[in-house]
Amino acid sequence: MKNKIMKYVSLIIGIFSILILAGCGNSNDNSKTIGLVVSTLDNPFFVSMKSGAEETAKAEGYKVIVLDSRNDPSKELSNVQDLVTRNIKVIIINPTDSQAVSNAVKYANQHNVEVITLDRTAVQGKVLSHVESNNVVGGKMAAQYMIERLNDSGKIIELEGIPGTSAAKERGKGFEDEIANSGITIVAKQPANFDRTQGLNVTQNLLQANPDINGIFAQNDEMALGAIRAVEEAGKKRIIIIGFDGTKEAINAVKAGKMTASIAQQPYLMGELGVEAAIKFLVGQKVNPHIVVPLRLVTQSNA
């Protein structure tokens, strides 16, 4: 009798174990889930990118898990590690830094998880696809409009983005190469890390050192919006201010005549295209390794 009872107990334990394992298997079935690691959700540009990703995924019957890196590469790595432990098969990353994100990309590679990057590239590691605007071309567009508005003469300052990001390097290169062939001089440039408050503070300092400038190029709209406030507080007028991104607030500033122009990216479309690429991978279709999102010069006449 005792042996029979022990057999029944063992059988029941075995059945429960199978059910538990089956339940765990179902909880880890993330075949229709996509990871999205965003550099920061404090910037409206990346909030729009997130919306594009989420809404596109929902329309296709997929789910997106969004994690905010808060512009911290170590947080970015831990976010990727978190998604890998959840059995996510493809992760979309908007890098905090093109070099630093390499650790996160390589970690995903080691665990056979595919990576798609948005807006900023990864210097190292294997990436399935990269979705971006042509930042060099965008920088040239900004320079050409600056040259046009200043009649090929004057002094300007440049607000740079986060050092080490591909967006900052490429926008700066496109802008500076074009300006170098003009009669305009860049008298000062300094990082303001794609941040509005830093854009305000850096512009205030540069205006004090260079009170006779005619123009400001900011490598994103947040810094440009900070620069607008600095220019207004200094009581200066007729300074050409050109931003980059085409965020809603920046376009409103262009309409109001406070910002001269913005090179408009399409962050919502970036998020959308990133998710579409992820879904193609998940269903076994070929993915384009380089997806380019068009740019547009927004001025008061077409805002």
Q: Kind of pairing, strands 261-264 and 296-299?
A: antiparallel
- Report the first-to-last Cα separation within the chain, whole angstroms: 86
pLDDT at 98 over 50: yes
Which of the pair, 276 or 17, is modelled with greater confidence? 276
Please report, for the chain, how many H helices and E strands are present, in that order.
10, 12
Percent of the chain past pLDDT 90, that is, above it, reads 88
- Distance, in Å, from the CA atom of 297 to the CA atom of 57, rounded to the nearest integer, reads 29
Banded pLDDT at 8 (limits 50, 70, 90): low
Query: What is the mean predicted confidence (pLDDT) over 116-142?
Result: 97
Banded pLDDT at 131 (limits 50, 70, 90): very high
Q: Are 29 and 250 in contact (CB under 8 A)?
A: no
Of the CA atoms within 13 Å of residue 166, those in its CB half-sphere come to 22
Q: Are 88 and 65 in contact (CB under 8 A)?
A: yes
Q: Are 150 and 179 in contact (CB under 8 A)?
A: no
pLDDT in tens, 48-97: 999 999 999 999 999 999 999 999 999 999 999 999 999 999 999 999 99
DSSP-derived secondary structure for 17-70: HHHHHHHHHHHT--TTEEEEEES-SSSHHHHHHHHHHHHHHHHTT-EEEEEE-T
Helical spans, DSSP H, in 111-245 = 135-149, 166-180, 196-209, 221-233
Domains and CATH numbers, the chain: 30-132+268-292 (3.40.50.2300), 135-264 (3.40.50.2300)
Mean pLDDT of the chain: 92
- Beta bridge partner(s), residue 63: 33
Taking every pair of Cα atoms in the chain, the longest distance, rounded to a whole number of angstroms, is 102
Which of the pair, 27 or 75, is modelled with greater confidence? 75
Burial of 50 (0-12, 13-18, 19+ CB in 10 A): buried
pLDDT at 17 over 60: no
Distances (CA, A) of 291 to 3, 22, 141, 269: 67, 39, 20, 11
pLDDT of residue 30: 80
pLDDT of residue 31: 85
